[in-house]
Structure 1
C-alpha cells in the first residue's frame, strides 16, 4: 500500500522505544518543521496502521500524545488536523538533525539584486489603478476601454479552435501578433519593419531584461542612460552587470556631447523623455545616430507612450532615421490599453533578432498564445486604432487643463513644460532651494505627482529638477480642484514662514 504521508517514517520494531513513541516523535517533528502544515487533515488511524503494518492501537496512542501536547486538534465528525501553534514553528531549527561535518556556504547570487532592484518610489501601482485617481505616472484611463470587444476576442481565442493551441508557441511570439505589431508601429510611428523583426515580450520590462542579457558583458559594458530616467530600465541593466553612466538632459533631450567614446549602449526616450517630457530635437537625434556610427554603439529607443501626440506633427522615431541598423525599438501596450496586459515588443535589427529570440525562449518560451491571438485581432480589426484616437482627444483635454491650471495657480513656484506627447506633464522649480517644501506639499495635495529627484541616478547632479504630474487617470474637474488646493497650501506655507 502507498504511504499516506509525503515524507518517510522509520518504524523499526526492534528499536529502544515503543512504536507509538517513535511514530509520535516523527509526526511531531514533521509538524514543527511545517512538513505538515497547520490545518492539514491527518489520515485515519486505520489507514495509517494498514499502510505501515502496525497495530491500530499504536497509531491511536501516537495521535493521543500529539493531541495531549496540542499539536493536533479534533472535531466531532471530522478528521483530526494539525493545530496552528506559532511557538512550535519557532522551535523548528532546534529539532532538525545537526551534523558535525564542515560544509561550504552556498555561493552568493552572481549579481547583488538588492542593488539592481530600483530603490526609487514605484511608478504607478495596481492598488492606485483600482481604488483612487490622481496624478500617478504611467496609468492610463481604462473606463472607456472596449472591454466587451476584448472579452469576446479573448473568449474566442481561448476556445481551443486554433490549430496550434496545444503546442509550444514560437519563442518570438505568435506570428499573427508580430505581423499586427509591425503594421501598428508603421501606422503610428513610421517604424519600418516586418514581422520577422519583432519579438513579443511580457511588457517593456522583459524587453529591457532580454536586451540587457544579450548586449551586456558583465562588468565591462558601459551603458549611457538619461539622468533623470526610467528606474526599471536601470534595474534590468544593473542586474546584467552593466556599468551605468548618467547622461544629462536639457530642453532638447539627451546631451550627446557628454557621451564618452567607450559607451557601447545608449538608452533614450526621444519622443517623450521620462520624466521631463521633452522631445529630443532632430539635431540631437542626428547627432546621436552619428555618435553610434562613429563609436560602434547601439541605441535602445524606449517609445513608451509616443502614440499620444498633441499639436504639431511628430518627429520621426530614431529607428526610422537609422540607416546603420543600430537602433533597437521598444514599445508597449501598457499605456494605450492597460498595464496588467503585460505585452510589449522589440523591433530589432537582423543581427540581433536571433540572439533575442533565443534569450526569450530561455525566459518563457513564447508567452500566452490565447492572449496574443486576441491582441492581434484587436489590432488588425481596427479596435486599437479607434481606442487610441478617442483617448488621444481625452488626454489632450486633460493636458490642456493641467497646463493651464499649473501656469495660473502654480506659476509663482513652477514652470510648466508643455508635453508634445504622452500622459504626464513636467514642471520645473523656479527656485531649487524651495524644492523640498514644494515636493512635500505636492505629496499631500497632488497625490501621485513625483519629483524628478526620484528618478535621478546621480543624486549629486546639478539638474534643474521639478515635479511630474500624470494626467492619464484624472478628470479635468479633479485636476482643477487638486492643483487649486496645492496652490492654497503653498501660499499658506510661505505666509506662515514670513
Structure 2
C-alpha cells in the first residue's frame, strides 16, 4: 500500500512532501508510532529523487514529528495534541436530522465489560459459561471451509437455504410455527427484522399500535421511521384489542412472553387481535424472542400459525437461545411482503455474514442447539426458582414479582408508594448490584414503579448474596 502524497508540478517537491506529511501527522491520519516508507521506496513511488524525500524527512525530524531508529526505520513521533475540529454549523445540510439522532436515547444497552457490576440482574444476557464453546468451534470451522469454497461472491439476501431449512424445522418443532424455508429471511438479529418490516410498510405519520408497556427499542425504531406510535394498554390476557385505534397500519406485539411484564396472550385474545387486524387491513408483527424457555403452563399457537389471511409477520432471534454477539435472527413475512422484504435486506446490507450462517446451520443440523436449549432451561429454571423464593419470601414487604412463564427475565413491582425505582437502582449500584427500572418500557408515566430483573447473567449461587445486599438497601430506603 502506497503512502498518500500528491505531487503537483516540478517545483518545491521537498516542501510539498514535507507539508503533506506534516498535515497528515497533525490531523491524526498518520498515527503515533506508525512506520513511514524508507526514503528510497517513497522516492520510487512518487517519481522523485531520493534526495528530495530525504530533505522532507529531515524537516519533519527538525519539527519533531518523526524519529529515526537505526536499523529499524522512520516512525511518526509521539502524538501531538490533535487540533479540535470545528463544530457542525446549523446551516449544514442534514444538521437538524443529525441533532434528532444525537438526542435519541438507547435504553437496555448492556454495560461494557469494565463497567459491569459483580451481581448483574440485567435482562437479555446469559452467563458466558453457558455458551457451547467446543461445539460452536467445530461448526465455525465448517463455516470457514464452506465460505472459502464460495469466497469472492455475495450471497443471496434472504439467507443460505441450508440455514433457512434448519430454522424452519427448528421453529416448527419447538414453537409450532407453520412455515417453509421459502418464507424465511435471515437477518442480523430481530432488530433488523423489525427495521426491514418498518421500511417496507411505514410511511411518515402512519399509525402503529404497540403494547404499553413494551419493548422500547422497537418503539424508538418505529418512531425513527416517522411512524406515529400509539401506546395500547395490556391486561392479564395481553394487548387490549378494543383500544387499537382506527387507521392503524401496523401492530407490534409480544404474545408469547409479553415484554416486559411477562404474561402470555390468551387464545381468545389472539383470535380477537387477528380479527381486528383483518378489519383494519393491518399487519401484525409477532416478536417471539425467547419462548424456548418455558417453565409453566402449555404453549399456545403462535399468531402466525392461527393467521388465515396473511396478516402476521413473525420475527425471532438466536440472541436469547444462543448468543447476542452472533447477531442472527429471522423474519417470516406474509406472502404479500416477502419480495419487498428481500429487496430491503439487499439494499440494507446485502446479506448476513455467510460464515456465521454456515456455522449456525451445521450447529442446528447436528442437534447442538436443542441440547444447548435444554441445558440452559435447567439452569434458568433453578435461578428463577431461587429468585422467586426470595421475592415471595423475605423481600415480599417491598417487592412483588409478576408471573412470568417463559424467558429469563421478570417484572417486579415496588409495593411501597414512596419508593422510587431509579433511586433503588442507584443505591444498589453502590453495593455492586445491577438493577434496572421498568420506566424505559413505558411511553407514558408508569402506574406503579418497578424493576426489570434478568436472571440469565447471574449465577445461581450469587442470587442470595446479591439479594441480601438489595434487602439492606430496601431497609435503608424505608426505615
Aligned residue in 2 for 1:90: 83
User: Within the alignment, does 1:404 sit opposite 2:389 as a pair?
Assistant: yes
Using the TM superposition, give the Cα deviation of residue 387 of structure 1 relative to its aligned residue in structure 2, in angstroms: 1.7
The two structures have a TM-score, normalised by structure 2, of: 0.90
Distance 1:8 1:161, change over 3 A: closer
SS in 2 for 1:178: helix
Residues of 2 paired with 1:161 and 1:23: CA distance? Answer: 43
Using the TM superposition, give the Cα deviation of residue 57 of structure 1 relative to its aligned residue in structure 2, in angstroms: 4.5
Distance 1:23 1:391, change over 3 A: closer
Aligned residue in 2 for 1:422: 407
User: Within the alignment, does 1:278 sit opposite 2:263 as a pair?
Assistant: yes
Query: For residues 113-139 of structure 1, what are the alpha-carbon distances to aligned partners after superposition, in whole Å with 9 as ceiling and x for unaligned?
Result: 744875144343462899855211001
1:454 aligned to which of 422, 436, 440? 440
Aligned residue in 2 for 1:235: 220
User: Within the alignment, does 1:28 sit opposite 2:12 as a pair?
Assistant: no
Residues of 2 paired with 1:9 and 1:364: CA distance? Answer: 37
User: Within the alignment, does 1:332 sit opposite 2:320 as a pair?
Assistant: no
Aligned residue in 2 for 1:137: 123
Residues of 2 paired with 1:373 and 1:54: CA distance? Answer: 50
Distance 1:446 1:80, change over 3 A: closer
Aligned residue in 2 for 1:8: 6
Would you say the 8 A contact 1:116–1:238 is kept in 2?
A: no
Aligned residue in 1 for 2:192: 206
Distance 1:404 1:27, change over 3 A: closer
Select between 228-237 and 23-32 the one with higher mean Cα deviation: 23-32
Using the TM superposition, give the Cα deviation of residue 19 of structure 1 relative to its aligned residue in structure 2, in angstroms: 5.3
Give the count of matched residue pairs.
476
Residues of 1 paired with 2:365 and 2:2: CA distance? Answer: 55
Residues of 1 paired with 2:25 and 2:478: CA distance? Answer: 62
1:259 aligned to which of 244, 257, 261? 244
Aligned residue in 1 for 2:274: 289
Select between 59-68 and 469-478 the one with higher mean Cα deviation: 59-68
Residues of 1 paired with 2:440 and 2:359: CA distance? Answer: 37
Aligned residue in 1 for 2:369: 384
Would you say the 8 A contact 1:129–1:139 is kept in 2?
A: no
SS in 2 for 1:199: strand
Residues of 1 paired with 2:8 and 2:205: CA distance? Answer: 54
Residues of 2 paired with 1:110 and 1:377: CA distance? Answer: 47
Aligned residue in 1 for 2:93: 107
Distance 1:488 1:51, change over 3 A: closer
Query: For residues 409-446 of structure 1, what are the alpha-carbon distances to aligned partners after superposition, in whole Å with 9 as ceiling and x for unaligned?
Result: 22112211121111012111223331244444444457
- Unmatched 5+ residue regions in structure 1? 94-102
Would you say the 8 A contact 1:11–1:22 is kept in 2?
A: no
Using the TM superposition, give the Cα deviation of residue 110 of structure 1 relative to its aligned residue in structure 2, in angstroms: 8.8
Aligned residue in 2 for 1:413: 398
1:39 aligned to which of 33, 37, 53? 33
Would you say the 8 A contact 2:7–2:16 is kept in 1?
A: no
User: Within the alignment, does 1:478 sit opposite 2:476 as a pair?
Assistant: no
Would you say the 8 A contact 1:446–1:486 is kept in 2?
A: no
Aligned residue in 1 for 2:475: 491
Residues of 2 paired with 1:129 and 1:140: CA distance? Answer: 17
Would you say the 8 A contact 1:446–1:483 is kept in 2?
A: no
Residues of 1 paired with 2:290 and 2:90: CA distance? Answer: 50
Residues of 2 paired with 1:475 and 1:26: CA distance? Answer: 56
Using the TM superposition, give the Cα deviation of residue 306 of structure 1 relative to its aligned residue in structure 2, in angstroms: 0.8
2:343 aligned to which of 358, 364, 373? 358
Using the TM superposition, give the Cα deviation of residue 263 of structure 1 relative to its aligned residue in structure 2, in angstroms: 1.4
Query: For residues 232-289 of structure 1, what are the alpha-carbon distances to aligned partners after superposition, in whole Å with 9 as ceiling and x for unaligned?
Result: 2123222322222222223332222222111111111111111111222223222211
Query: For residues 135-159 of structure 1, what are the alpha-carbon distances to aligned partners after superposition, in whole Å with 9 as ceiling and x for unaligned?
Result: 1100123424432222112212322
Distance 1:163 1:24, change over 3 A: closer
Select between 60-69 and 349-358 the one with higher mean Cα deviation: 60-69
Would you say the 8 A contact 2:60–2:66 is kept in 1?
A: yes
Residues of 2 paired with 1:92 and 1:408: CA distance? Answer: 58
User: Within the alignment, does 1:169 sit opposite 2:155 as a pair?
Assistant: yes
Using the TM superposition, give the Cα deviation of residue 53 of structure 1 relative to its aligned residue in structure 2, in angstroms: 6.2
Query: For residues 17-58 of structure 1, what are the alpha-carbon distances to aligned partners after superposition, in whole Å with 9 as ceiling and x for unaligned?
Result: x65555544443343344544333334444555665656544
Using the TM superposition, give the Cα deviation of residue 83 of structure 1 relative to its aligned residue in structure 2, in angstroms: 2.3
Distance 1:56 1:478, change over 3 A: closer
SS in 1 for 2:314: strand
Residues of 2 paired with 1:21 and 1:189: CA distance? Answer: 70
Aligned residue in 1 for 2:177: 191
Would you say the 8 A contact 1:403–1:418 is kept in 2?
A: no
Distance 1:119 1:295, change over 3 A: same
Aligned residue in 2 for 1:96: none
Select between 44-53 and 288-297 the one with higher mean Cα deviation: 44-53
Using the TM superposition, give the Cα deviation of residue 469 of structure 1 relative to its aligned residue in structure 2, in angstroms: 1.1
Would you say the 8 A contact 2:317–2:328 is kept in 1?
A: yes
Select between 236-245 and 295-304 the one with higher mean Cα deviation: 236-245
Distance 1:178 1:42, change over 3 A: closer
Aligned residue in 2 for 1:153: 139
The two structures have a TM-score, normalised by structure 1, of: 0.87
